[in-house]
Amino acid sequence: MNVGEVIRQKRKVYNYTQQNLADQLRVSRTTISSWETGRTYPDLSMLIALSGVFETSVDYLLKGDVEMVSELDKSVRRGRKSKYYLGVLLAILVLLVVYFSAVYIKKNNLYKNVNEWQRIGGAYSLTEEDMTYMVGYSDSLDIRNISNELGLLADRSNDDNSQITMIYNGNDDDIQVSFRSGPIEGMSFIFDKNFILNDEAENSNRVRYSYEIRKNVNDILKKESSYFQDTFEKVKNKWGEINEVGY
The DSSP code sequence of 42-107 is --HHHHHHHHHHTTS-HHHHHTT-HHHHHHHHHHHHHHHHHHHHHHHHHHHHHHHHHHHHHHHHHH
What is the Cα–Cα distance from 111 to 164, expressed in whole angstroms? Answer: 25
Q: What are phi and psi of 104, to 5 degrees?
A: -60, -45
Give the 3-state secondary structure of residue 131. Answer: strand
pLDDT at 84: 79
pLDDT at 230: 95
pLDDT at 203: 46
The angle formed by the CA atoms of residues 152, 197 and 173, to the nearest 5 degrees, is 45
pTM of the predicted model, to two decimals? 0.63
Mention every residue, 6+ apart, whose C-beta is less than 8 A from residue 187: 178, 179, 213
- Find residue 152's DSSP bridge partners: 168
What is the Cα–Cα distance from 113 to 232, expressed in whole angstroms? Answer: 20
pLDDT in tens, 24-33: 989 999 999 9
pLDDT at 112: 94
pLDDT at 58: 82
pLDDT at 67: 59
Environment class of 164 (CB within 10 Å of its CB; exposed 0-12, middle 13-18, buried 19+): buried
What is the Cα–Cα distance from 116 to 113, expressed in whole angstroms? Answer: 7
User: How many CB atoms are located within 10 Å of the residue 93 CB?
Assistant: 10
Q: DSSP characters for 178-237?
A: EE-SSTTTT-EEEE-TT--B-HHHHHHTT----HHHHHHHHHHHHHTHHHHHHHHHHHHH
What are the residue ranges in the chain where pLDDT is below 70?
Answer: 1, 64-79, 198-208, 246-247
pLDDT at 82: 75
Task: Say how far residue 229 (Cα) sits from the centre of its chain.
Answer: 41
What size, in residues, is the chain? 247
